Amino acid sequence: EVLYSVGFGGSVESKEDEQGQPRQIWWPSETVRAIAYDTPVVGWRGASVNTLRLWRARALHDLNLGRFNAGDHLGAVAEVVRAESISRVLYPADSNEAGQELRLRQEFFFVSASLQDLLRRHLNVHDTLLNLAEHVSIQLNDTHPSIAVAELMRILVDEHGIEWSTAWQITVDTLSYTNHTLLPEALETWPVGLMERLLPRHMQIIYLINGYHIDLLREKGIHDFDVLRAVSLIEEDHGRRVRMGNLAFLGSHSVNGVSGLHTQLMRSTVFAELHKLYPDRINNKTNGVTFRRWLFQANPPLTSMLVNALGEDVLDETEHKLIKLEPFAEQADFRKQFADQRLQSKCTLAALIYERLGIVVSPEAMFDVQIKRIHEYKRQLLNLLHTVALYQAIRAEPSNNWVPRVKIFAGKAAASYTQAKLIIKLANDIARTINSDPTVRGLLKVVFIPNYNVSLAENIIPAADLSEQISTAGYEASGTSNMKFALNGALTIGTMDGANVEMSERIGAENMFIFGLSSQQVEARKRSGEFHAEPDIAASHRLNDVLQAIRGGVFSHDDPARYTGFVDSLIDYDRFLVCADFDSYWDAQMRVEHLWHDQDQWWRMAVLNTARAGWFSSDRTIREYATDIWKAL
């Protein structure tokens, strides 16, 4: 059994070592055990097997017998409950102090256990930690594991007696950091008071890292207060907080974004001042998706078509072979086969929808899909406003040649994200109203499929005709569902955001439906504070009708005022520019309707989406990490 001790709280004692040098000794007030659970992960065709090591938190003692015998039967297992809660539910709601503390405990627990395990295995092979960076590379996936900077320093300095500057160089050379968000509020910060109480030695180390860094900048002649404040690890503006993004940046030799636009914006926004100080540190590694899961496993009918058309070796060289599918887009028989395999997947999804929701949808209709985490910047709300506008138009203009359409939503909201949960409620209210209205004549159905996960996505993605990638430009780091849909031949309607930009370059903007403000236009609105939506609503009678219907309770007869505040707040402060992009989005959706009537051209574009998706393979992405950052190739 592999297990390690992970401490929390307590105090730090300063003592001199045998050479008379001061050493810091951390005396935790609480210690839990981290127990390893290994799962073998078999690679493609069984050529390799990796181990996924997960950790479970357990108390040092399963029962406090003294308290139990004293009659405190619940208190006797309190230590067990407190310890095991660390690994029981990940990402607990952090809207209260208890939730914040549990999140920090979780992050440190997994980081500490993994680092202890990694260093032990290194020392089993090598007799020193001085060469750690030559054999080990640790990638910090966003700010959640960024406490690793302080924990690695603690282990190197306190437990192995390595001098500070040497330990810092080892840490920086070993760690690298991938950023996944441009939202300032999503870059984690922790209250200094919480950090000092829960991880007192780590807070000392963070202060030292910060102090040495600021001193170094001053030695270089940088005295601008605003610059020093921007790059500091401690935020002073609204209560003192530790900036985990800045900590990860300083403690890593490489900092990367996950799409070209995202990386460009990292340099000019969230890490602007740090980038000026370290201009070679930020680099780009555009995300990719695993074709073995999102094509071969998720879509066997399409995979069989590819093998028949391109040969068996397409399975091993998909990244490079898919482009050879391009000429097949001009073959009518192949386009028909492509449409037939899609219909097969849509029949499967239609059966799943009926089984789970009792809603009958036609596989012959266009499946218009948005599946992703529910967040205001991802703009499920914009899709819902279009849904209502389309509903109103179908009823008001029955003579139009409307395309039968099924709007499919799925996704989860963070536990304490009230606004996102209200959007889910709105989606279900709209679905209930539209699906029960006979005047729609089956031209529009709306479904929100609950309990979204990877397995459900594997059913939805092969069945999608239209992929909704409609985030506010400049907010989506990359996205990967956009790549999964395109790989399976869905056409994308989207903004020039995240990896949509690279998709438009490689797949061709003419094979997508691009709309909306650019990231530069969004930034201009932010700088001028143009978030009041009344001018946009006044310019669009269609949008005004939609908002008034939602606000007036048309979709919430059981509680007519349910969305009054929701709509009013959107009008007053449209942070993610939903209203600003509405008319452009409607026009793009009309282009979608027009193209669907031209089935030859639709399926020609669908085949080209699949053919040109090869670059978006995760094999390419990981190869770039291994070559440029980890130096493993």
CA neighbor of 616 nearest in space, from 469, 504, 512, 487? 487
| Three-state SS sequence of 168-235 | HHHHHHHEEEECCCCCHHHCCEEEHHHHHHHCHHHHHHHHHHHHHHHHHHHHCCCCCHHHHHHHCCEE
Catalytic residue flag (residue 143):
no
Q: Count Cβ neighbours within 10 Å for each residue of 98-132 and write b for 16 or more, e otherwise.
A: eebbbbbbbbbbbbbbbbbbbbeeeeeeeeebeeb
CA–centroid distance for 559 within its chain: 33
Cα 430 to Cα 354: distance, rounded to the nearest angstrom: 18
Out of 378, 379, 386, 407, the active site residue is 378
Catalytic residue flag (residue 378):
yes
Which DSSP string do the residues of 45-56 spell out, in sequence order?
GGS-EEEEEEEE
Cα 153 to Cα 132: distance, rounded to the nearest angstrom: 13
Strands (DSSP E) found in 76-201: 138-141, 175-178, 189-191
Query: Can you read off the two tokens belonging to residue 311?
Result: 């040969």
Q: Which residues contact 584 (CB under 8 A, 6 or more apart)?
A: 515, 516, 517
Q: Residue for token digits 């209930």? A: 432
Q: Residue for token digits 């950090």? A: 195
Contact assessment for residue 318 and residue 488, using Cβ atoms and an 8 Å cutoff? no
Pairing of strands 241-243, 282-284: unpaired
Q: Across the beta sheet with 189-191, what order do the strands follow?
A: 189-191, 241-243, 234-235
Cα 390 to Cα 398: distance, rounded to the nearest angstrom: 11
Q: Which residues contact 476 (CB under 8 A, 6 or more apart)?
A: 262, 377, 378, 469, 497, 498, 500
Integer angstrom CA distances of residue 304 from 39, 459, 485: 30, 17, 18
Q: Which residues contact 26 (CB under 8 A, 6 or more apart)?
A: 7, 10, 11, 12, 154, 158, 200, 201
Q: Which residues contact 603 (CB under 8 A, 6 or more apart)?
A: 335, 336, 338, 339
Catalytic residue flag (residue 33):
no
Strands (DSSP E) found in 351-498: 366-371, 405-410, 444-449, 466-469, 491-494
Out of 201, 346, 407, 484, the active site residue is 484
Q: Count Cβ neighbours within 10 Å for each residue of 540-554 and write b for 16 or more, e otherwise.
A: bebbeebbebbbebb
CA neighbor of 53 nearest in space, from 142, 135, 7, 113? 113
Out of 372, 375, 445, 562, the active site residue is 372
Give the Cβ contact number of residue 627 at 10 Å: 11
Cα 248 to Cα 142: distance, rounded to the nearest angstrom: 8
| 3-state class percentages of the chain: helix first, strand second, coil last, to nearest 5 | 55, 15, 30
Out of 58, 180, 320, 620, the active site residue is 180
Contact assessment for residue 621 and residue 494, using Cβ atoms and an 8 Å cutoff? no
Cα 610 to Cα 71: distance, rounded to the nearest angstrom: 67
Catalytic residue flag (residue 220):
no
Residues identified as active-site: 180, 372-373, 378, 480, 484
